[in-house]
Amino acid sequence: MGAIRTVDLPSGPDGEQRTTEMTNLEWSLQFVKLKIQEMIFNGRKTDQCGVILFGSEETSNIINEKNGGYDHVSEYIPISQPNAGTLSKIDALRPSEVSGDPIDALIVGIETQAQYLASKKSWTRKIVMVTDGENSIEVEDWEATVQKMNILTISLTIIGVDFDDEELPFEEENKSTIKRANEEFYHTIISALQNGVCGTCALALRETTRPDMKQTKSTLMGSILRLGDTDSRSDEAIEIIVKTSKCTALTRPKSWKKFSVRQSLGDDEEMDVEEEQKIAFAQLKMRSEYFVDRRDHDEDEDGGIKMEEDESILDEAEKEEKQKVKEEQFEKVEKEQLVRGFKYGTTYAPCPDGQFPRLQTKKGIDICGFFPTKNFRRELSLGEVQYVWADPSSPPQQVALSSIIQAMYEKGVMAIARWVTKDGMDPKMGVLSPVLFDEVDCLLWVQMPFADDIRKYTFASLDNLVSRKGEVITEHAYLPTQEQLDAMENFVDAMDLMEAGDKDEECNRATWYDTLLSYNPAVHRTKQALFHCAVVSDVSTNPLPPPHPELLKYLEPPRRVIKRARDATEECKSTMKIRQVPKKVAKARKDGHVHATDEDEDFLLLDRKQPISPARAQIHITQAPPTSPSKRKAPTINPDDSETEEEDEEEMLLDKPMVPPLDARNSHPLPTPARSLSPQVDPGRAPGRIIGSTYPLADFKKNLAQGDLVTKAVEDLGAVITEIVMRPFSSRRSKELLDCMAALRDTCLKEDEVDAWNAFLVNLQEYCMADMGNAEFWSQVKDIGPPLSPISDEEASRYC
């Protein structure tokens, strides 16, 4: 197991192949640790494990103690519920030079397990053997061992390093004779066992990442289905005892714990100096603190734009000082001093209990009426779905509910119902839909919106365009032509999934995509990552392996469908003539109301002569050129002056010579850890970004004016600035970038994005000060001082 092997790592940020070296032992122990980690993760008291080594220097096992023999087999970790200590013990294992007999180890394992489980007969027994198959095995008498295992119903899994495997597939070249013989022997054992598998380690490692479903048994909650007035007209009113359980329930990714490097190891430090240098990561705890602003509000509401005195760039001493300034104005208050209440606009409405008296309600599901299923509006369904069953212990109730369900089903209606989960709980409205399973009938409930939950936004009609003269327009760039409709129809037909799935026994293709087979990538990838970092000691040299293929299977359309739709797609592309609209440059404002910094705009205009937009030729969607502001200055009233494609195209042609030669260095955006799987190339504005690198400030301002996505705009501008700073020759854009930063800070301050600004600044500093960074730019930032400094809470508060 001491042999060194080369292990493939996920490709690096630039797609380069990366590998690392480790011993076979380290490699195969990853499997052991992942398995143990899963037990730790599930945290069940009934999930226990122990570790027995064979080929260890020392010998310590129960059989040896009693009868001798069984050398070089030792019980390393006694059977118990595993914890983080178990993992670190496993980490301490090193390859040895001695050899131990796997069958000896197996017998020790069976014995140790049997002794531990002497009084726990119902426990499931499993043995997992991890080996490289190079040990010599005493093959006589193995049948007795197998028999014993079958009696005890032990399942055996043999994980072999570089065993041949058809499933993966894998075949080892230059396999040693002894290994070949051993592999064969292992397979013989497995086939003799009632319950055994033998597999190669690489596959086993991959399979640990296979998304597995945690089967959650929903508890049955008691409730009452009612119709009519059960209090005063009980002769007529209906009451059925029902049980409810969840049909869908949102699963969220597991949460991450927060850690940070502990600055010094404190008292233990001296001891450590002699050994290797170590660092400790401490888990962080959350604590809430409350602050109150004692200053009078009107005092300097407007003066807030003025900068705080000297809070230049982060520095430990200054930071402390900042803290002090903050604390002077912001007083920390203890939770005990606080009273609960609500805000009614600017008015305080006391409410010491945290809630007003609740509406009196009575537990149960009240039917309000029925309506035809075809009128059900699917898009109104609000959340998780619930089953409603008749009481499984009461035949009359079952028959009663069944008769209602069947009648509803036959008539094709759903019921409107009001559900109160517990006396005094807030009622919910929803619908009940009848379902007939093979052997039982039930209702499905889904919550529907209250009047308060519906937003009635108005949208312009897609079909009815009316001219200013009040006439209906039938031909317009917004309205698809017959040709376009035909192209779309072909496309929809070609992209049909109804018969695009796998073939069944009768060679009929099933529908592609099934909710029951779609695994949540976020949940499973996060879990994989959590486990990975728990078992490796460094994620940068041993990064997370790629996700299991099961997680990715539905992310792209099936290949044969894409192939089938190729022609239709091309047709659609050519008739629809979609163009990406480049971000417009904000027009210099004529009015004096907005205090926009005019220099910025001027500067931008100058700068535009050297746009840095790369690789236009790669863009599939042709970009229309930025419209020059002068052309649009006078909004035209002429109703016939609707813009047509042709005009755009002409502009395109005219503009073309102005497109600068490609700058090869710029054609790749900076590598980021989160690289896109889907190819979307518009390097000017990276996919998903609303701020481009060509005219960042203009894009930013425009987005703010639109007021749509401020948080996003702030985030993107920050990213773009950092990106440009790190590009070669960015110094010629320094002033523009500094202006961008000023605008960004200003917005962050006013839009409660203070954290975003501060984080951006720290990040920028890191980038600039790194090797190959841009220290020059950072010093420029520092020179400017306060207008680009981190935002203190105190300053921020003036805008709240």
The interface with another protein within residues 509-538 (CB under 8 A) comprises: 511-513, 515-523, 525-526, 528-531, 533-534, 536-538
Q: How far is the CB of 653 from another protein (least distance, A)?
A: 17
228 touches another protein by CB under 8 A: yes
Q: CB pairs under 8 A, 24+ apart, for 448-453?
A: 448/380, 448/381, 448/382, 448/416, 449/380, 449/382, 453/382
Instruction: Say if CB 428 and CB 418 are below 8 A apart.
Output: yes
Fill in the per-residue mask, 457 to 476: x = in contact with another protein (CB under 8 A), - = not in contact: xxxxxxxxxxxxxx--x--x
Which of 65, 141, 328, 556 is in the footprint of another protein by CB under 8 A?
556
Which of 93, 190, 241, 662: binder of another protein (CB under 8 A)? 241
Among 116, 142, 170, 389, binds another protein (CB under 8 A): 389
Other beta carbons within 10 angstroms of residue 725's beta carbon come to 22
CA 405 to chain centre: 40
Stretch that binds another protein, among 54-62, 160-168, 182-190, 627-635 (CB under 8 A): 627-635
Which member of 6, 14, 17, 281 binds another protein (CB under 8 A)? 281
Taking a C-beta distance cutoff of 8 angstroms, is the pair 691, 700 a contact? yes
Candidates 168, 561, 652, 742; binder of another protein (CB under 8 A) is: 561
DSSP 356-384: PPPPP--SEEEEEEEEEGGG--GGG--S-
Q: Rounded to the nearest whole angstrom, what is the least distance from the CB of residue 460 to another protein in the complex?
A: 4
Distances (CA, A) of 752 to 98, 493, 524, 542, 710: 65, 48, 34, 39, 10
Give the CA count within 13 Å in the CB-facing half-sphere of 243.
14
Binding another protein by CB under 8 A: which of 261, 507, 617, 664?
A: 261
Nearest to 495 by CA among 551, 540, 554, 562: 562
For the segment 282-301, give every residue that binds another protein (CB under 8 A).
282-294
Q: Which of residues 313-372 bind another protein (CB under 8 A)?
A: 330, 333, 335, 337-351, 354-359, 366-372
Window 669 to 688, contacts with another protein (CB under 8 A): 672-680, 687-688
Residues 36-65 that bind another protein (CB under 8 A): 37, 40
User: Distance (Å, rounded) from C-alpha 466 to C-alpha 790?
Assistant: 51
Q: Identify which of 679, 702, 699 has the alpha carbon closest to the alpha carbon of residue 689.
A: 699
Using CB under 8 A as the binding rule, the residues of this chain from 151 to 210 that contact another protein are: none
Q: Which region, judged by CB under 8 A, interacts with another protein, from 188-196, 279-287, 650-658, 661-669? A: 279-287
Among 7, 190, 205, 247, binds another protein (CB under 8 A): 247
Question: Which one among 115, 136, 194, 711 touches another protein, defined by CB under 8 A?
Answer: 711
Q: Rounded to an integer, what distance in angstroms lies between the CA atom of residue 436 and that of residue 409?
A: 8
Q: How far apart are CA 106 and CA 137, in angstroms?
A: 11
Asked if residue 273 binds another protein (CB under 8 A), the reply is no
Three-state DSSP class for residue 174 = coil
Select the span of 64-72, 215-223, 609-617, 657-665 touching another protein (CB under 8 A). Answer: 215-223
Among positions 107-146, residues that touch another protein (CB under 8 A) are none
Nearest distance, CB of residue 39 and another protein, angstroms: 12
* By CB under 8 A, residue 13 contacts another protein: no
CA atoms within 13 A on the CB side of 763: 15
Q: Are 162 and 182 in contact (CB under 8 A)?
A: no
Please give the residues from 579 up to 618 whose contact with another protein meets the rule CB under 8 A: 579-581, 584, 587, 589-591, 593-594
DSSP bridge pairs for 155: 126
Which is nearest to 201 in space by CA: 261, 153, 160, 152? 160
Residues 6+ apart with CB under 8 A from 216: 249
Q: What is the Cα–Cα distance from 294 to 317, expressed in whole angstroms?
A: 26
Q: Shortest gap between Cβ of 287 and another protein (angstroms)?
A: 5
Q: Which residues are CB-neighbours of 785 under 8 A, at least 6 positions away?
A: 310, 312
CA atoms within 13 A on the CB side of 214: 15
Q: CA-to-CA distance for 547 and 523, rounded, in angstroms? A: 12
Q: Does 390 bind another protein (CB under 8 A)?
A: yes
For the CB of residue 541, give the shortest distance to another protein in the complex, in Å: 8
Residue closer to another protein by CB (options 245, 734) is 245
| Interface positions, 396-455, toward another protein (CB under 8 A) | 396, 398-400, 402-404, 406-408, 410-411, 413-414, 416, 418, 426-427, 429, 431, 433, 437-442, 444, 446, 448-455
Alpha-carbon Rg of the chain, whole angstroms? 35
Selected from 86, 135, 693, 792, the binder of another protein by CB under 8 A is: 86
Among 11, 136, 194, 260, binds another protein (CB under 8 A): 260
Choice from 20, 597, 763, 779 touching another protein (CB under 8 A): 763
DSSP state of 633: S
Please state, in angstroms and rounded to a whole number, the distance separating the CA atoms of residues 656 and 566. 29
The answer to whether 305 contacts another protein (rule: CB under 8 A) is: no
- When asked if residue 94 is in the footprint of another protein (CB under 8 A), the reply is no
Size of the site for another protein (CB under 8 A): 297
Please identify, using beta-carbon distances, which residue of 161 and 487 lies nearer to another protein: 487
Q: How far is the CB of 729 from another protein (least distance, A)?
A: 27
Q: Which is nearer to another protein, 175 or 418 (CB)?
A: 418
Sole window of 170-178, 576-584, 732-740, 771-779 interacting with another protein (rule: CB under 8 A): 576-584
Least distance (Å) between residue 581 CB and another protein: 5
User: Of 233 and 609, which CB lies nearer to another protein in the complex structure?
Assistant: 233
Measure the CA–CA gap between 24 and 3, rounded to whole angstroms.
6
Is the Cβ of residue 556 or residue 598 nearer to another protein in the bound state? 556
List helix spans (H) across 126-200: 142-151, 177-192
Residue 396: CB minimum distance to another protein, A: 5
Q: CB-based contacts of 544: which residues, under 8 Å, 6+ apart?
A: 10, 528, 529, 532, 533
Instruction: Determine contact, residues 406/441, Cβ cutoff 8 Å.
Output: yes
Q: Toward another protein, which CB reaches closer, 140 or 275? A: 275
Phi and psi, residue 416, nearest 5°: -90, 130
Kindly state whether residue 726 participates in binding another protein, applying the rule CB under 8 A. no
118, 151, 317, 498: residue in contact with another protein (rule CB under 8 A): 498
CB of 134 to another protein, least distance (A): 30
- What do you get for the CA distance between the two ends of the chain, in Å? 63
Closer to another protein by CB, 3 or 249: give it: 249
Evaluate whether 695 touches 604 at the Cβ level (below 8 Å): yes
750 binds another protein (CB under 8 A): yes
Q: Which is nearer to another protein, 214 or 324 (CB)?
A: 214
How far apart are alpha carbons 251 and 272 in whole angstroms? 43
Phi, psi of 277 (to 5 degrees): -65, 135
Compute CA distances 574 → 59, 462, 682, whole Å.
76, 21, 20
Which residue blocks in 14-83 are alpha helix, DSSP H? Answer: 24-42, 62-67
